[in-house]
Chains A and B, each alone.
Chain A
Amino acid sequence: MKKLNESVLAEGEVTGHAHRLPSTVDVFEADNGEREFCTETAIPLTHEEHGEITIPPGDYSSDKVVEYDHFSEQARKVAD
């Protein structure tokens, strides 16, 4: 697990948009790309294009949805 410099759960490659938590929240990333964070209060998860979600207090994991690439015949995380 490594601590990320920014409190971001995922970043868009072609938009520059990000799924972002308040900067006071530490986000850690595992080798498989899954990210974790802990919050003692309800916090907003924001994104430039999607509606805000309020995350209740707790320990959380997060990751991107996956899609199946029929050409490489393997599942991969959705890139946006």
Chain B
Amino acid sequence: MVICLSPYYAWAGVCYYKSITGTAVDSAVRSAVYRAVYRAVGSAVDSVRLTSFVWPWFDGHWMANFFAYYDYYFNNEMVVNPVPCEYNALKSSCKMDLIYPFDDICIVSQNPTEIHLNNAGFPHCESGPAVRYQHDGYYFLNGVNVGKEIVDTPAEKLDPAIILSEKNAEVRREIVRKIGIERVCQKLGAKIIDSGLDYVDSPCELIQLEVQGEIQKYIKLINPSVAGIYHIEGVPNECQTVKDALNSRKPEGLLKIPVDDTNGADWYEQGDVCVWPKNAKFVKSKPIILT
């Protein structure tokens, strides 16, 4: 058995072990296997019985809620556990972190030493890893997996320009939240081109920055699900108004459909996802519901 200090080292160990045994391991395989196993578990639960299947890894204490679910039925004698020995063996894995069993070696990760959550129950820590292991950890702000530098660097020392190169909108939102939208705009020399209201009548602005000598336009929006928190998204420089900028955000398939605010079909926006009737001839200019 190999005891690793964290899931990162454990996974690295698995990759190394797999590489020396001639099998490639990557996240796509893990994802595919996970979905297959999930389907097996789902059907087992539906038929109220446990079936035999082999996990390529055990999630350790991260799966404790599943055992709590089964225990409820077993302990209240609503369902008879058909395989108590195997079940208890599997349940004992909850005392550990990730476990990768092979024929002649088993790689186990140590438990995290700290887990920090925000009030909404998402991983969050502003002063270190939200999930801390003995020698490293995973950094989250409000459930968003961000880099160590973003958490560890004091807000006043974070360079606002990093939001321009950050491709992930959630990470960008957390950087803006940490630095503060006013300081971001001030430091980046933002010039307001147009002001208006977004689809839920919150104030938004079309702003222009000069980055490395070139003009770049962005729209500054309030996140509809996180009160008072702005985020910034790039828009084409052709945009002259807030309305142009909001329109430019529509997915290609939706943008192709002509707008008719009287007879057009309703559509919906949840976060960064738009949903519209497939065969709509016309759509309204803004979503009927935005959350």
* B39, CB-defined interface residue at 8 Å: yes
Q: Which residue of A lies closest to B214 (CB)?
A: A70
A77 to B253, CA, bound (A): 12
Asked if B253 contacts A61 (CB within 8 A), the reply is yes
A59 contact set on B, CB distance < 8 A: 277-279
A21 to B226, CA, bound (A): 22
* A65, CB-defined interface residue at 8 Å: yes
Q: Which residue of A lies closest to B272 (CB)?
A: A78
Q: Which residue of B lies closest to A5 (CB)?
A: B35
A71 contact set on B, CB distance < 8 A: 164-165
* B86, CB-defined interface residue at 8 Å: no
Asked if B291 contacts A68 (CB within 8 A), the reply is no
Partner among A5, A9, A58, A78 whose Cβ is within 8 Å of the Cβ of B233? A78
> Is the contact region of chain B dominated by helix, strand, or loop, or is it mixed?
mixed
Asked if A14 contacts B171 (CB within 8 A), the reply is yes
Asked if B275 contacts A79 (CB within 8 A), the reply is no
**What is the total number of residues of chain B having a CB less than 8 Å from a CB of chain A?**
47
* B268, CB-defined interface residue at 8 Å: yes
B268 contact set on A, CB distance < 8 A: 45, 53, 55
**With A45-B275, A55-B275, A78-B233 as given contacts, are A15 and B39 in contact (CB-CB < 8 Å)?**
no
Asked if A67 contacts B235 (CB within 8 A), the reply is yes
Closest-CB distance, A77 to chain B (whole angstroms): 8
Interface string of A48-60 (1 = CB under 8 A from B): 1111110100111
Closest-CB distance, B95 to chain A (whole angstroms): 24
Near A by CB (< 8 A), chain B positions 237-263 give 237, 248-254
Q: Which residue of B lies closest to A49 (CB)?
A: B225
* B195, CB-defined interface residue at 8 Å: no
**With A14-B146, A45-B270, A49-B225 as given contacts, are A62 and B169 in contact (CB-CB < 8 Å)?**
no
Partner among B143, B225, B233 whose Cβ is within 8 Å of the Cβ of A67? B233
A50 to B249, CA, bound (A): 18
A50 contact set on B, CB distance < 8 A: 224-225, 270-271, 291
**With A5-B35, A61-B276, A67-B249 as given contacts, are A75 and B236 in contact (CB-CB < 8 Å)?**
yes
A55 contact set on B, CB distance < 8 A: 268, 275
B234 contact set on A, CB distance < 8 A: 67-70
* A66, CB-defined interface residue at 8 Å: yes
Closest 5 CB pairs of A and B: A51-B291, A63-B251, A59-B278, A70-B216, A67-B233
| A–B Cβ pairs within 8 angstroms, 14 of them | A6-B35, A45-B270, A51-B225, A53-B268, A53-B270, A53-B275, A53-B289, A61-B275, A64-B272, A67-B234, A67-B235, A75-B236, A75-B248, A78-B272
